[in-house]
Amino acid sequence: MEKYHPRGSHSCRPTRSRSEATASLRSLSDTSALRSLKAALNSAQLFLVGGTVRDAFYDSSRTDLDLATNLSAPEVKDRCVAHGLRVIETGIQHGTVLVVIDGTHLEVTTFRQPADRDVQIDARDITTDLSGRDFTINALAFCLSTYEIIDPYAGIADISAGRLCCVGDAAVRLKEDPLRILRMIRFGDAQGRTIDPHTETAAASLVTALEHVSVERIRNELEQILMSPFPSAGVSKLNAIGALPYTLPELIPSVGFEQNRYHIHDVFDHTLAVLDCTPPDRILRWSAIFHDIGKPHTLSVDAGGERHFYSHEVVSTTLSWQRMEHLRFSHDDMKQISSVVRHHMRPLSCGPAGVRRLIRDLGETLPLWRAFKDADSSPTIANEEIASTARAFDELLQTELTKMATPSYGKLAVDGEDLKALGVKPGPGMGKILKQLEETIIEDPSKNTKETLLALAKTMQ
């Protein structure tokens, strides 16, 4: 299995000039979905805004588009319905209408004045609307009638410089919606931009306001940080501004917590290193965050001064499950992440029987676990040895997976009826014997015959 290597350049420079971005946005404005929307809204002021415009400088395509208009949400709804367009009204009380055209989601929001997130005060023009956006790189608009980029707050200059600045007074912008503190990290460090010192100082001073943000919004923003090009830089900034108590408090004891001679980092820095080495997969990135949070709680030191963290994976699983429950993860995500965390200490050098147990215990999570093992490989073991062990494991795994294609693979040659014939009563005792027989054939598949297993079962009564 090829090991994932994170991007090495900590940079977020644009790939397109202003003229190239303008041409891209003009081409976008001529798509059937936007033509239909413009026809429905007739002579209304209509602008592409925010990330749709920002990403045009990065050669990044977006399937869902954000727009702003001078029309009220009910007016947008009525005109679109009259034009035969599909409208979803879930955000109409906040001045937003979602229009779905040819599978494209167009989120149309009424111009609003700068205000707290839950306050909708309509504005008359796009410049006022942009003045309440969070960061200058997001305070951009593209006029669908003049085909010009509107940039009143030097957002394009900040895009070019790889810089993140709040629009206007940073403290005011962040107070309007404290989640912007986490968005600052996502658009800043996690994407390779340098955060303006005034913006970061304001964020650090207001970080306690995250207590009042819903856990669902925090989870979503954390996940976007983890899925960014530089996730470790994002998590490091969470710690630097004091945001861990309000987001991932289980990581706090790991900061500066010494490991042992098998590691070159403390627990927190090791977590960041593993995070950067995981492929951009949600389950793997969260598994990296949680896999060693149990270490500070399981430290023991032997007579020789060696530090140990026995069963830390069990504690890590418990703590991660609790944090995921708090953040309201889906049950399926919780099961997959906790499975990777619970089994992350199991070695690749485990032999055929060990491979069979991994297949049994991990089930559909096995490919994720395997990818995580590459990311969590020891920094004190030579790369050649790691690669050799990995190749041997993968060969054994492929052999067992090939065997699994046969109908009889892993099926015990005896069942409960056979045990009843031996005089074993149904119940926990029978279940225990069947489990022991299963372990026997995992260790040595050649023993999976009725005669051999019944003989063994007689000795287990």
Q: What stretch(es) of the chain map to CATH 1.10.110.30?
A: 168-247
CA 180/CA 187 separation, integer angstroms:
10
Per-10-residue mean pLDDT, the chain, length 461: 46 87 95 95 92 91 87 95 92 90 94 82 89 97 97 97 97 97 98 97 98 97 97 98 98 96 91 96 98 97 94 98 98 98 97 94 97 91 92 95 76 88 89 90 87 89 79
CA 453/CA 416 separation, integer angstroms:
12
Q: Which CATH number fits domain 168-247: 3.30.420.40, 1.10.110.30, 3.40.50.300, 3.40.190.10?
A: 1.10.110.30
CA 249/CA 178 separation, integer angstroms:
18
248-404 carries CATH number 2.30.30: no
Q: What stretch(es) of the chain map to CATH 1.10.3210?
A: 248-404
Q: Could you give the residue ranges of the DSSP H alpha helices within 110-214?
A: 126-131, 155-161, 170-176, 180-187, 197-205
Per-residue confidence (pLDDT) for residue 261, from 0 to 100: 84
Per-residue confidence (pLDDT) for residue 11, from 0 to 100: 56
Per-residue confidence (pLDDT) for residue 363, from 0 to 100: 94
Per-residue confidence (pLDDT) for residue 208, from 0 to 100: 98
Per-residue confidence (pLDDT) for residue 93, from 0 to 100: 82
Domain at 1-161, CATH homologous superfamily: Beta Polymerase, domain 2 (3.30.460.10)
Per-residue confidence (pLDDT) for residue 412, from 0 to 100: 87
Per-residue confidence (pLDDT) for residue 9, from 0 to 100: 41
CB < 8 Å & 24+ apart, contacts of 425-429: none
| DSSP-based three-state secondary structure for 381 | coil
Q: What stretch(es) of the chain map to CATH 3.30.460.10?
A: 1-161
Per-residue confidence (pLDDT) for residue 404, from 0 to 100: 79
Per-residue confidence (pLDDT) for residue 408, from 0 to 100: 66
Nearest C-alpha neighbor of 371 from the set 285, 262, 268, 431:
285
Q: pTM for the whole thing?
A: 0.90
Are the C-beta atoms of residues 69 and 41 closer than 8 Å to each other? yes
